[in-house]
Structure 1
Amino acid sequence: MSSDKPTIFFIPGAWHLPDGFDDVRTSLAIRGFPSESVALPSIGAEPPSKGLADDTIFVQNEIERLSNQGKQIVVVAHSYGGMVGAGALKGMGYAERQKTGKQGGVLMLVYMAAFVARSGTSLLDMIGGKWLPWNQLDGNYVRAADAPQIFYHDLPVQEQEKWTSKLVHTSRAAFEDPVSHEPWHDLPCMYIFCEEDRAIPLSAQESMAGLLGDHSQFRCKSSHSPFLSMPDKVAEACEMAANIGLGKHNMHDRCIAQGGLRENLHAIMRKQKQSDDVKARSYRKHSPTANHGQAHREPQNQTRNARIMEYKRIDGEAETTTPQNTEEIIVSTQT
């Protein structure tokens, strides 16, 4: 069944296979969103020689395939998947592709309890240059110990055992290869914070999210794996990300379609100002008291100022004038 809604594309973390997202994808399908998830080459590779570079190329090819079909995409990267998504999305942003006459592309990158790394940094660097106590290293194989408590502590015991049995090894190279790109300079981003995460503590998530600059947020009181313990909430976050991404790019498309981004930002602002002024004058004319009319003008001015801030966010030269929390959306969820 065809859908005009963005495709939600999941990148799993280390040790995990794509079937972990099945419940979220079912919830998204009910909401009308198509979705895809991939198995990364470094996860379960035999021999364990595939690394971050291989995962990056593989995911980039998948994103390009969907983009060439005209798909608008929201990429949701979990844990190590944040490292993969960073390089894979270089040049794949929707706005960037539109400028070169290409169709489709990525609307937003969502980090779900994921690593946000500067270019040239490896996952091993991100965890302090030393293997964690629950990382079992055997040559080029890296396995996860104590998974029920590290990944799934908010699931029933039977579910913990089920998903632990599905984990596979990750190649050592996935931890040692450096990230090749910083996508937040080119793409809108969201961070899904997992507040009870025992794999990546909340403080670490918040510190990494600080690199993203102006970004959207969604909070879950969950373990490292909210896609298993609260799939409907993750689907809600994905829908929010899609709506925010569409909103940003629809305004961009509107300006471009009218013949030039910066020039038309100001034209649209002038047109909207005239419309607001007409409405305000009409209201004052029929208002029973002057004070009431004055009270009405204030919301008009606030509305206009909000629009101006939105236009400034799109105009690259004015980007730095936007307060960091202007577009921040925080949703706390309870288990």
Structure 2
Amino acid sequence: MKLSKYLAAAVVGCSMVMTGVAAQAADAKPSIVLVHGGFVDGSGWEGVYNILKKDGYEVSIVQNPTASLADDVAFTRRVLEKQTGPVVLVGHSYGGAVITESGTAPNVKALVYITAFAPDAGESVQTLTSNPAPGAPVPPIVPPQDGYLGLDIAKFPASFAGDLPLQKAQFMANSQVPWGVNAYAGKITQPAWKSKPSWYLVVTEDHMIPVAAQRTMAKRANATMVETKGSHAIYVSNPKVVASVIEQAAKSVQTSAK
């Protein structure tokens, strides 16, 4: 009799512990993985990173080399493999193509596009930009050299970072990272946005990706859209609004886990 009571109590205690563990897991915040775009490196995410960390999120930044889409996807997947729970995967500009291809990883629960490309299967950044609409801003990309693209240094501030102090924009222009032609032309095989919920921050004064193109890609991906004023460098100039969109996606992941 005493043994049966002991076993019953043990079962109840174990059940309570398991329930508590499950509840704690459901309440745990997803980790955030940030992917930068072309012509820049991961350091531009610093402001967004600081806000997310302050709000209790684990944050990783993919320092992808932007030499080819395949390499950048591989770099991103290695970071994803290190995460211990659900992930919100975020991409800016060309980084949107990277998260579209790498976001099929099973631990990725949401995608966030920050004025980013969201290609469909068989599309690349090159195909999405090959026929700009009349009057649309045209990025000042200079002819490739040794397989890499660059932006005209003199035109970089106005095109990429028009809402940053000129000195900061000029620094970004002079420290830009060459962007590989194989990254620019890399085609998507299986778009993650077809199977994962997405958010999209449309930036209305972006002179690199026309606002109409941003909205079209966001609608095609059935993304939750948020709009704000700002330049293509919105993740640097207004990290608060960018972090807010990311946290919307993260809270949605937490809610769905309960």
TM-score normalised by the chain length of structure 1: 0.64
CA contact (8 A) 2:102 2:192 kept: no
Question: C-alpha offsets along residues 13-59 of structure 1, whole Å, 9 cap, x if unaligned?
Answer: 011100000011111112111211111122xxxxxxx3111111221
Equivalent residue in structure 2 for 1:234, among 221, 238, 242: 242
Shift of 1:223: 0.6
Equivalent residue in structure 2 for 1:112, among 101, 108, 114: 114
CA contact (8 A) 2:33 2:89 kept: yes
CA contact (8 A) 2:36 2:91 kept: yes
Does 1:126 find its partner at 2:128?
yes
Equivalent residue in structure 2 for 1:30, among 35, 51, 54: 54
What are the equivalent positions in structure 2 for 1:97-246 lying under 5 Å apart?
105-128=107-130, 134-136=140-142, 137-145=144-152, 146-213=155-222, 215-246=223-254
Query: What SS does the corresponding residue of 1:241 show, helix, strand or coil?
Result: helix
The code of the aligned residue for 1:172 comes to V
Query: What SS does the corresponding residue of 2:82 show, helix, strand or coil?
Result: helix
Query: What SS does the corresponding residue of 2:130 show, helix, strand or coil?
Result: coil
Shift of 1:220: 1.6
Instruction: Indicate the RMSD between aligned Cα atoms, in angstroms.
Output: 1.8
Give 1:77's aligned residue: 91
Give 1:65's aligned residue: 82
CA contact (8 A) 2:123 2:188 kept: yes
CA contact (8 A) 1:56 1:88 kept: yes
CA contact (8 A) 2:139 2:208 kept: no
User: Computing the radius of gyration over CA atoms, which structure comes out larger, 1 or 2?
Assistant: 1
Shift of 1:249: 3.4
Structure with greater contact order relative to length (CA < 8 Å, sep ≥ 6): 2
TM-score normalised by the chain length of structure 2: 0.82
Give 2:72's aligned residue: 55
Shift of 1:156: 1.2
Distance 1:82 1:64 in 2: 19
Q: Gaps spanning 5+ residues in structure 1: where?
A: 43-49, 94-104, 251-335
- List structure 1 segments (4+ residues) > 4 angstroms apart after TM superposition: none
Query: What SS does the corresponding residue of 1:16 show, helix, strand or coil?
Result: coil
CA contact (8 A) 1:121 1:178 kept: yes
Distance 1:61 1:181 in 2: 18
Give 2:28's aligned residue: 4
The code of the aligned residue for 1:223 comes to S
Does 1:18 find its partner at 2:27?
no
* Residues 133 and 199 of structure 1: CA distance in aligned 2, closer, same or farther (over 3 Å): closer
CA contact (8 A) 1:107 1:246 kept: no
Shift of 1:133: 5.6
The code of the aligned residue for 1:12 comes to H
Query: What SS does the corresponding residue of 2:57 show, helix, strand or coil?
Result: coil
Distance 1:188 1:133 in 2: 29
Percent identity reads 28
CA contact (8 A) 1:79 1:112 kept: yes
Give 1:271's aligned residue: none
Shift of 1:166: 2.4
Query: What SS does the corresponding residue of 1:200 show, helix, strand or coil?
Result: coil
Q: Gaps spanning 5+ residues in structure 2: where?
A: 1-26, 133-137
CA contact (8 A) 1:86 1:180 kept: no
Shift of 1:207: 0.9
CA contact (8 A) 2:199 2:245 kept: no
Distance 1:216 1:174 in 2: 27
